[in-house]
Structure 1
Amino acid sequence: MKVEDTYAVIFDMDGVIVDSEPVYRIWNRELFQRLNITVPEEIRAQLIGGSTKRKWQLIKEHCRLSQTVEDLIQYQYEFFRAKPFNFKDVLFSGVLPLIVELKSNGISVALASSSDKERINRVLTDCGLQYVFDAIVSGEDFADSKPHPEIFLHTAKLLGKSPQQCIVIEDSTNGLLAATRAAMKKVAVRHHSIKMDLSLADLIIDSLEEVNPTILAKML
């Protein structure tokens, strides 16, 4: 198979590259306490996989906050930025070996995360992954967040691939729905403590160590 005919793999970040969702749950709980608001679990579940803008639009509406969405986003930026934490401590062990194996087989890899650029840069720098991806795309560059497919379609264009040549690795319902709407194949990573509806996935795994280029190629 020629390199130009191979597929591409698009990784989500939180929950796929790093086990960050439990960390953010703790930080969000502290943040909500500071804002003196209660965010029910059904709202919190909708936030996973979505952008910061979508998060605060939902919370502002539900909690009837007087602050603007932009002010709430900035407040979160400053709060998270001050947290002393190294994301290398929650890097999934199977990430780098899989990426190295994919790239050695001529397969392009990209990161498409709903997180803002600052958070993406922090995670990748902490984990030493700044230079392994052929494209890095942030959800803050798009008007609509996952479950809208735009972030994945844009990433495919950057890689020079059609949607049918792309496999998305996700952990959230919103991410899987976005990939489905983009007409891409989907691998879902099951989280050990946060239950998500992964029924849209073509393949469900517990760890990235369960997949390799041959297994992924067979999905297409």
Structure 2
Amino acid sequence: MAYKSIIFDMDGVLFETEDYYYQRRFAFLKSKGISLEHLNPLVFVGARSSQIWSLILGDDMGKWDIPKLEADYADFKSLHPTPYGDCVFEEAKEVIPFLKEAGFSLAVASNTDLDEVKRALTESGLLSYFDRVFSATDCEACKPHPAVYEKACQALGNLKSETLVIEDSQLGIAAGVAAGLTVWAIEDKKWGVDQSQASQRIKNVGELREKLK
């Protein structure tokens, strides 16, 4: 298949951020007296906290003011911003300019807030290579809902059969597949992510240079 567009997830694909996110979330919840010991870290991969408060809090869900927790967590994140410049994969810094020069239309579609996505791409020097940038928070629902991938595909203007998605999380892969797109997964060697819905797996985005010749 001759692809014309490539839509990238951000975390775990272009940036090694999942560890940082987990440790920051752990520190915040610990400050509130909330434990994560009952949860497999896998549940956080690719997800937003708003999607998993019920798993975090369990039977104590009704005892907490969730909007207040969300607001406090936003403040905590602003005090501990993700160091995107240090988290970008070297392979991403090399292959994204190559793909753009080769004529591919490029987009990012992430569950992360749009201002954070743009900050990440700016700090890593990658923003100028992407035609469009999208956050699922601005869509009907976050991944695994397909809305953000449907929106990105439509914006890039190519057929679904001409569009490739690069993902890593189970939620993201499911979203891409539900949107009717071909999904390749960055091979997971740490979290135990179910990537069975992906058409194929690659070690990192650097492999796209050879696979898309």
Report if TM-score (shorter chain) is over 0.5: yes
Deviates more, 1:51-60 or 1:109-118: 51-60
How far did residue 175 of structure 1 move? Answer: 0.5
Work out whether residues 116 and 140 of structure 1, in 8 Å CA contact, stay in contact via their aligned partners in 2.
yes
Matches within 5 A, 1:1-220: 6-39=3-36, 40-42=38-40, 44-56=41-53, 58-59=55-56, 63-83=60-80, 85-212=82-209, 215-216=211-212
- Residue identity opposite 1:41 in structure 2: L
How far did residue 47 of structure 1 move? Answer: 3.1
- Equivalences, count: 211
Judging changes above 3 Å, is the alpha-carbon distance between structure 1 residues 85 and 157 closer, same or farther for their aligned structure 2 residues?
closer
Work out whether residues 34 and 57 of structure 2, in 8 Å CA contact, stay in contact via their aligned partners in 1.
no
Post-superposition CA distance 1:56-98 (Å, at most 9, x none): 4654566415444432222221111111652221211111322
Give the distance between the partners of 2:83 and 2:212, measured in 1 at CA.
31
Work out whether residues 177 and 197 of structure 2, in 8 Å CA contact, stay in contact via their aligned partners in 1.
yes
How far did residue 50 of structure 1 move? Answer: 2.6
Judging changes above 3 Å, is the alpha-carbon distance between structure 1 residues 32 and 211 closer, same or farther for their aligned structure 2 residues?
same
Q: Aligned-residue CA RMSD in angstroms?
A: 2.2
Deviates more, 1:53-62 or 1:166-175: 53-62
- Residue identity opposite 1:127 in structure 2: S
Judging changes above 3 Å, is the alpha-carbon distance between structure 1 residues 112 and 63 closer, same or farther for their aligned structure 2 residues?
farther
TM-score (norm 1): 0.86
Work out whether residues 19 and 91 of structure 1, in 8 Å CA contact, stay in contact via their aligned partners in 2.
yes
Work out whether residues 10 and 112 of structure 1, in 8 Å CA contact, stay in contact via their aligned partners in 2.
yes
Give the distance between the partners of 1:51 and 1:107, measured in 2 at CA.
29
Work out whether residues 96 and 126 of structure 2, in 8 Å CA contact, stay in contact via their aligned partners in 1.
no
Give the distance between the partners of 1:186 and 1:123, measured in 2 at CA.
23
Secondary structure of the corresponding residue to residue 106 of structure 1: coil
Work out whether residues 5 and 106 of structure 2, in 8 Å CA contact, stay in contact via their aligned partners in 1.
yes
Secondary structure of the corresponding residue to residue 158 of structure 2: coil
Judging changes above 3 Å, is the alpha-carbon distance between structure 1 residues 63 and 179 closer, same or farther for their aligned structure 2 residues?
farther
Unaligned runs of 5+ in 2: none
Work out whether residues 56 and 73 of structure 1, in 8 Å CA contact, stay in contact via their aligned partners in 2.
no
TM-score (norm 2): 0.88
Judging changes above 3 Å, is the alpha-carbon distance between structure 1 residues 62 and 115 closer, same or farther for their aligned structure 2 residues?
farther
Work out whether residues 184 and 200 of structure 2, in 8 Å CA contact, stay in contact via their aligned partners in 1.
yes
Work out whether residues 166 and 185 of structure 1, in 8 Å CA contact, stay in contact via their aligned partners in 2.
yes
